[in-house]
Chain A
Amino acid sequence: SQKIEQNSEALNIQEGKTATLTCNYTNYSPAYLQWYRQDPGRGPVFLLLIRENEKEKRKERLKVTFDTTLKQSLFHITASQPADSATYLCALDFTNTGGFKTIFGAGTRLFVKA
């Protein structure tokens, strides 16, 4: 069956450290993978998109890697700040016989302590 898995446990790190979040998937051939941030009671906010033929993408303090062989994406936040505390969602976009779909993982909660 098709699955997307993210670290189910919350990640607690100290301010200034690098946070690394993992997204693993099985039985998908995604066109691309996206990372979103979600704060409580609000809609997800897009952070980064990486396509199937790209290995790495960067944006300011954020970096995403995408390994289609391992079926894994890593999301890094360098020099983390308390304001980075939120839930981070990975999402796969793909097309199958059912048409276009976006499938989200359950998310990983990140807490950055000052």
Chain B
Amino acid sequence: DAGVTQSPTHLIKTRGQQVTLRCSPISGHKSVSWYQQVLGQGPQFIFQYYEKEERGRGNFPDRFSARQFPNYSSELNVNALLLGDSALYLCASSFTPPGRRGGTDTQYFGPGTRLTVL
């Protein structure tokens, strides 16, 4: 079985532009989460989607948005890019939503998309 896939691998944009990152979860997984990881820090939670609905949101500005499609793949959009948006963007999938008490599912991460904003 293929793991979580993300595209593109690398991306270079300029300030003010918009970017769309894509994620395909592991087959059978219905939950997708997005994270931003800046060098030297742990991943920062952006969004969590389950069954095409947003179930969790981190402390990111409204320039960040996401959606999940009927096939459970997901897109993360970032508008009006800033230099500080340069980071590794990680997608993770699980069968059930993370954080559910009694749940046993963990998250499986993709390789990430490296976004550089110039």
Chain A residues engaging chain B, CB cutoff 8 angstroms:
4, 31-32, 34, 36, 41-46, 49, 52, 89, 91, 93-95, 98-107
Say yes or no: A93 contacts B98, CB within 8 Å. yes
A41 to B: closest C-beta gap in Å? 8
Instruction: Point out the residue from B33, B44, B99 that lies within 8 Å of A31, measured CB to CB.
Output: B99
One of B11-19, B54-62, B70-78 contacting the partner: B54-62
A32 to B103, CA, bound (A): 9
Interface residues of B in 28-68 (CB under 8 A from A): 33, 35, 40-45, 48, 50, 54-58
Interface residues of B in 74-109 (CB under 8 A from A): 88, 90, 92, 97-104, 106-109
Say yes or no: A101 contacts B108, CB within 8 Å. no
Q: A43-B110, A43-B111, A99-B56 are in contact. Are A106 and B104 (CB under 8 A)?
A: no
Residue numbers in A under 8 Å from B55 (CB-CB):
99-100
B105 to A: closest C-beta gap in Å? 9
Say yes or no: B56 contacts A98, CB within 8 Å. yes
Residue numbers in A under 8 Å from B92 (CB-CB):
43
**How many residues of chain B get a CB closer than 8 Å to chain A's CBs?**
35
Say yes or no: A101 contacts B109, CB within 8 Å. no
Residue numbers in B under 8 Å from A106 (CB-CB):
40-42
B112 in the interface, Cβ–Cβ < 8 Å? Answer: yes
Q: A43-B112, A100-B98, A105-B42 are in contact. Are A31 and B107 (CB under 8 A)?
A: no
**Residue of A at shortest CB range from B105?**
A49
Say yes or no: B90 contacts A44, CB within 8 Å. yes
Say yes or no: B103 contacts A101, CB within 8 Å. no
B49 to A: closest C-beta gap in Å? 10
Q: A100-B56, A102-B99 are in contact. Are A43 and B42 (CB under 8 A)?
A: no
Instruction: Point out the residue from A36, A41, A102 that lies within 8 Å of B98, measured CB to CB.
Output: A102
A106 to B42, CA, bound (A): 4
A27 to B57, CA, bound (A): 18
Say yes or no: B44 contacts A104, CB within 8 Å. yes
Q: A89-B42, A94-B99, A101-B56 are in contact. List 8 more A-B contacts (CB 8 A).
A: A31-B99, A31-B102, A34-B107, A43-B92, A45-B109, A46-B108, A93-B98, A106-B40
